[in-house]
Structure 1
């Protein structure tokens, strides 16, 4: 595993110290990429000397001034390594930063971003006691949206495959292309959750020429407001921001009742349930048939990516639907409960039963849930646990999962088809930082019956 350390360069005063902090890493599993962004002559001379050295672990580029966001985007576009570690040209990495980030990445391959702590140093690279400006800890949500958008700072390691699912580094032209760091946090969180390393791995230099010092608090608040509103639109969340200073507060928009016309069905191609939907005269354009995959999450994600409507209904071969009225009842239950994820159950539950996890072969999901959480994990979670994993993601972001008794619909969930202790351990490993969201063995047995364990 190699980490791509990426440095946009504008000023040369502390650039040598920055570069040396990379060369002094306890691990050599890194590649350093630097791009000159039309900066001062001192920085250009340093990079020209670095380029002339032909160091096999260093790449140097020269561009006209583009701004910080476009320079980061340029470097990430050149990178074919699995992880990105952004570094500013006046800061330093702690000597064990690469080693610790690699260890964390191997332990948490599902994380889109892994963040460590930072300390402050002066112009002589001496430690300075300074109150941290931004929180360090899990982020907080309201109905899918992050409220504490300022809960972010270097250092952070980005999984490249997660970055490739975003729009990339983006900044604001009226703020010198700044805001790109907060924005990439928001975008990456829509792919997968973050993990934290409670150790100082980065040294942030305090001096009078920092680009960030030219931005006022008012400018920071304005960028946070814009980024928040942009994220709400991108995830199609029915929210309105109601405060001007983070942590932001939000209000839910009034929802209009949905109908079968707002629904698309995601089914395996050639399945019995696909034929059944056509028999009960569901509109064929609303049925998205996806080639079967051994990985359940893969065909479901492929189906969602082909969908366009406000709600999607996932159905597998275990599902039996008596008639169209049962599906109407299912959509009505979503409206009445206000749920974000809803599954029918054969159990005689009273009204709508809020659940932390669902296990069903048939379930409805509002589009914004899948956009906000990244959807199903297609890489690390076994089939038996993929719906529980989605529910954990949804619950973390303050969405609601509900079961309701619907006459005329029956199915078997992934757990009922069989699960193992190994499956459960994989789920526990992924969510080790959030143990309160995990089911217990007793919970799994309640869903599936003891006989489903294998």
Structure 2
């Protein structure tokens, strides 16, 4: 018999979308699945009605509103499957998603995370660009969506979602799994559908526009996974590339997390020694880094 796959769906006021999500779950070609919906504080009885009328095998759990990370952690605690897939309550997966990602994990033991290409739908359509996994690129920008099939035991070993994080929590989780030497695979098919709507993205946009909050969350991730960054050559030049987020954030904001990150890598006493031995190939980098050193020493 095939292994059980647990599909965990955090739910909060998603009554307009959850049935479409569940249809995509129960239409999977891979049949040995369990669907777990963690109701994160929604007061209505819509889920109970769906369970009674259409999906008697659906597992429901109610908790006070604590956010999706807490809901997902709780869902994994309730899960019986060897494999886990998270799916937001307003997103959908194509009928062969579980079958094809499962086959990758089954046939390639070194692979512990498997995702697919994705599409936007509703207010925005077209491809959601999820590039093929490359560790160095991944360390600078997450390319692995929340809807990725992986092993439950890896989730437990990693400690699950860091509930301090309101942003980048999936990036943090994937790093915890990858830094143990596990491989990642992407399927060259569009099997995941990510809904774009104003209400869904309002919280995300609120956090993204608070640059100090974003900086703090990023710094938590860099602190937690410093060994992984160092092992993969995140040198000073790489840090200046990270700061290219000037396209997203104003200069006055990114200096906050950048300064913290620099102190993590190079203490003041090592700055001049580093400058003596490091070879810079671009004059702009030299000027930029010298300015940053001056800034640190004055502060």
**TM-score, with normalisation over the residues of structure 1?**
0.47
Correspondence for 2:194: 204
Number of aligned residue pairs: 240
Distance 2:50 2:222 in 1: 40
Moved over 3 A (4+): 50-57, 217-222, 233-254
- Does 1:141 find its partner at 2:159? no
Deviations 1:183-210, CA, capped at 9 Å, x for gaps: 1111110231212212111100010111
Contact 1:170-1:179 within 8 A present in 2 as well: no
In structure 2, do the counterparts of structure 1 residues 239 and 120 end up closer, same or farther at CA, with 3 Å as the change threshold? closer
Between the aligned partners of 2:151 and 2:18, the Cα distance in structure 1 is 26
1:115–1:196: 8 Å Cα contact kept in structure 2?
yes
Question: For residues 396-435 of structure 1, what are the structure 2 equivalents within 5 Å?
Answer: none
Q: Deviations over 1:63-105 (max 9, x none)?
A: 1111111110000011121100000011111121111122212
Alpha-carbon distance between aligned partners in 1 of 2:122 and 2:41, rounded to the nearest angstrom: 25
Structure 1 pair 223/252, CA: closer, same or farther in 2 (3 Å)? closer
Residue 185, structure 1, aligned to residue 212, structure 2? no
Q: Is the 8 A contact 2:9 2:87 kept in 1?
A: yes
Compared with structure 1, are the counterparts of its residues 246 and 24 closer, same or farther at alpha carbon in structure 2 (3 Å cutoff)?
farther
1:114 aligns with 2:114: yes
What is the match of residue 129 of structure 1? 126
| Cα offset, 1:2, TM superposition | 1.7
SS at structure 2 position matched to 1:137: coil
Q: Which residue of 1 aligns with 2:16?
A: 13
Measure the CA separation in 1 of the matches of 2:171 and 2:244. 13
Following superposition, the deviation at residue 233 of structure 1 comes to 6.2
Gaps of at least 5 residues in structure 2 are 246-257, 268-299
Rg larger in structure: 1
Residue equivalent to 1:34: 37
Is the 2:119–2:193 Cα contact (8 Å) retained in structure 1? yes
For structure 1, list consecutive stretches of 5 or more residues without a partner in the other structure: 255-454
Q: Let me know the Cα RMSD of the aligned residues.
A: 3.2
CA contact (8 A) 1:155 1:202 kept: yes
In structure 2, what is the Cα distance between the partners aligned to 1:114 and 1:225?
A: 27
Partner Cα distance (2:38, 2:127) in 1: 30
Distance 2:161 2:128 in 1: 28
Matching of residue 161 in structure 1 with residue 135 in structure 2: no
TM-score, normalization by structure 2: 0.69
1:99 counterpart residue number: 99
Distance 1:155 1:54 in 2: 24
